[in-house]
Structure 1
Amino acid sequence: MRFSPRATGLLAALVTVTIWTSFIVIARASAQRSLAPLDISLLRIVGASLVLLPWGWWLVRRRRAQMGASAPASSLGGVSPLPLSTTALLGIFGGVLYAVLAYAGFFHAPATHAAVLMPGSLPLWTALLAVVVLRDRITPLRALGLALIVAGDLLVGGRSLLAGFAGGDVWKGDLLFMLAAACWASYSVQARRLAVDAVQATIAITAFALLVYVPVWGVLVALGTVTSHLRQAPWSEILFQLVFQGGGSVVVSGIAFTRMIQHYGPVRSTMITALVPGLSAVGAVLFLGEPMHWNLGAGLALVTTGILLGVLRQSPAPAPLPAAPGNSAA
């Protein structure tokens, strides 16, 4: 059965928003179960690698068969379709740091905070980095949108920071969420600067994360430097994280986001993904029983409005890479 372009775009948008929203709710729920944050990062990387590394190996060999000596450079034993320098640069921010920071954040702060601070602050970091790296210009309308995002983030994170002086640690999670968004923004801006293909970039960062993160994790666990609960966790939980965090948040959402961009364009797609902060916050209240304080509601409204203002009346830009959310903010 073949779907029309309109149906394909609509399905891709639905899948993207669903996975990005579910990522935030499920990651917080996972933090309250057996696994440690570095364990979940490991399972995300391994789960995605089971799909993407064979795909990368096939892509590289197909290019070599078709183009011979003129084929683009690959790396990491032929599983990354990008050169080593590009793979390492994108892999550090998009493959390793984002996962570690994001999952660690859920062990300190609720999902309602992540809903605002991760997908909400992503446009802020991306715009600021694009000015420095890509020499982009911030229009007055976009500047207003970014100001609203900052105000929303301060409403959410500021209260946690003040509570930290009384011994609370939610501010640690808020800070980790902001840093995770900054890492994904760095990945996205660098990927745009290098003009890499979205699917190839996703394969490359996963290959880099597998070959770098997994050995380091193993050594640190063996030395007792970090704690792992993999041996104590039930197999059902491990399998679920492999499938959802790896296969869903990385592979499926990456492909769906790319399809959505192709159909709706970058501006309309960003407006669609502006639904994620609100839906994630509602999901956290309904499924996790988290309270929706006035500052969270106000911050959510400001951030969502800021995202929408940031994409209104903007000329089309080069399509961004898959975000987590995820991407960015899955």
Structure 2
Amino acid sequence: MSNPASSRLAIGFAFGILSAVIWGVQSVVSRQSVVDGLSAGDVTILRFLAASLVLLPFAIARLKPFPVGKLGWKRALILTAIVGPSYSLILVGGAHFAPALHSSVISPGLIPVATALLAVFVLGDRISPLRVIGLAIIVAGIVVFSFEAMANTPTREGAWIGDLLFVLIALLWSVFGLLARRWGADAVEVTMATCLLSVPLLPLLALVQPVNLLSVPLPAIALQALYQGVLVGAVALFLYTEAVTILGAARAALFLPLVPVVTALSGAIMLGEQASTLEIAGMALAVTGMVVALRAPSSA
């Protein structure tokens, strides 16, 4: 006879692993959009339309007032400006220049670094010595990882542009996290509100970005809509939120270092993108730093 507590724990671990797998493959799917001839604008439109269609019934039932909920219009609009269409454009735009692995190492690696710095200088938080060590290891790892791209070597020519865009992603996500924490925002409600508020901006996006949807094969369009919109926009959010509920935020966050590992494996299999020796060494350092930082107490 199975132990209910053990079964629930196993479900939490399964949800955490699945969410990390979905986020890990996302970088590869974004990179595939380049191969398929989709622009950053195309992917952004598909992502928010698909996610909004999936989330709309839940949002109608949960968000009072609709579509901003407890956040209110001002805060919801600010968060949408940070992680709405502009965020997606930067993310997918970076994939046009840099290999998929760069997105999943640089952004997740720098998010805890930027968040810690903002928390210290803006909120006056204190961080433990162990977390400082972990963050320093992350920075060292990303420097090693990005060396060839920043040196513009023939094997990574132009990748530095994507890397800088991924740094910007980390900064945006850190500001978003800081504001969400300060406002006590619910993760699920924030995702619903920002997705729905992004939809009216999509026609404007089509005016300033190339749209190739009519000239791209339907399977390529379906891949981006289903993966970016449904799996990333809705399913991964639900899985990770449930993992946090079952395991707690600290234990659930320990699955995040799996993201670059999944990207490395799926990028090699699906795109034939092989990491260099320096990139592997940098990724190993960054993942080690992420584990150290996540295991450390948040304050001294």
Select between 91-100 and 190-199 the one with higher mean Cα deviation: 91-100
Q: Name the one with the larger helix percent.
A: 2
The answer for the alignment partner of 1:287 in structure 2 is 270
Indicate which of 203, 207, 232 corresponds to 1:215.
203
Cα distance, 1:164 vs structure 2: 7.2
The verdict on how the C-alpha distance between 1:91 and 1:144 changes in structure 2, with shifts beyond 3 A counting, is same
Indicate which of 105, 114, 118 corresponds to 1:125.
114
Asked if 1:198 is matched to 2:187, the reply is yes
Contact map agreement 2:131 2:296 (CA 8 A) in 1 = no
**Structure 2: segments with no counterpart, 5+ residues:** none
Cα distance, 1:285 vs structure 2: 2.1
Contact map agreement 2:67 2:197 (CA 8 A) in 1 = no
Indicate which of 139, 150, 153 corresponds to 2:139.
150
The answer for the alignment partner of 2:164 in structure 1 is 175
Select between 235-244 and 130-139 the one with higher mean Cα deviation: 130-139
Asked if 1:298 is matched to 2:286, the reply is no
SS at match of 1:228: coil
Cα distance, 1:199 vs structure 2: 0.9
**Structure 1: segments with no counterpart, 5+ residues:** 64-73, 221-225, 317-330
The answer for the alignment partner of 2:30 in structure 1 is 27
**Aligned counterparts of 2:155 and 2:290: Cα–Cα separation in 1:** 33
Cα distance, 1:315 vs structure 2: 5.5
- Work out the percentage of aligned pairs sharing the same amino acid: 32
Cα distance, 1:166 vs structure 2: 11
SS at match of 1:231: helix
Contact map agreement 1:164 1:170 (CA 8 A) in 2 = no
The verdict on how the C-alpha distance between 1:313 and 1:109 changes in structure 2, with shifts beyond 3 A counting, is closer
Indicate which of 47, 51, 66 corresponds to 2:50.
47
Select between 273-282 and 161-170 the one with higher mean Cα deviation: 161-170
Contact map agreement 1:120 1:277 (CA 8 A) in 2 = no
**Aligned counterparts of 2:122 and 2:86: Cα–Cα separation in 1:** 20
**Structure with the greater relative contact order (CA < 8 A, sep ≥ 6): 1 or 2?**
2
Cα distance, 1:291 vs structure 2: 2.1
Asked if 1:255 is matched to 2:238, the reply is yes
The answer for the alignment partner of 2:249 in structure 1 is 266
**Aligned counterparts of 1:167 and 1:106: Cα–Cα separation in 2:** 13
SS at match of 1:79: coil
Indicate which of 97, 103, 120 corresponds to 1:108.
97
Select between 190-199 and 51-60 the one with higher mean Cα deviation: 51-60
Q: RMSD in angstroms over aligned alpha carbons? A: 2.2
Cα distance, 1:20 vs structure 2: 0.9
Select between 139-148 and 152-161 the one with higher mean Cα deviation: 152-161
TM normalised by structure 1 equals 0.83
Cα distance, 1:8 vs structure 2: 2.7
Per-residue CA deviation, residues 77-99 of structure 1 (Å, 9 max, x unaligned), is x2221311110111111223321
Total equivalences in the alignment:
294
Per-residue CA deviation, residues 121-171 of structure 1 (Å, 9 max, x unaligned), is 221122222223433212211111111111111112232122179993110
Contact map agreement 1:164 1:171 (CA 8 A) in 2 = no
The verdict on how the C-alpha distance between 1:271 and 1:119 changes in structure 2, with shifts beyond 3 A counting, is same
Mapping for residues 7-18 of structure 1, pairs under 5 Å: 7-18=10-21
One-letter amino acid of the counterpart of residue 146, structure 2: G
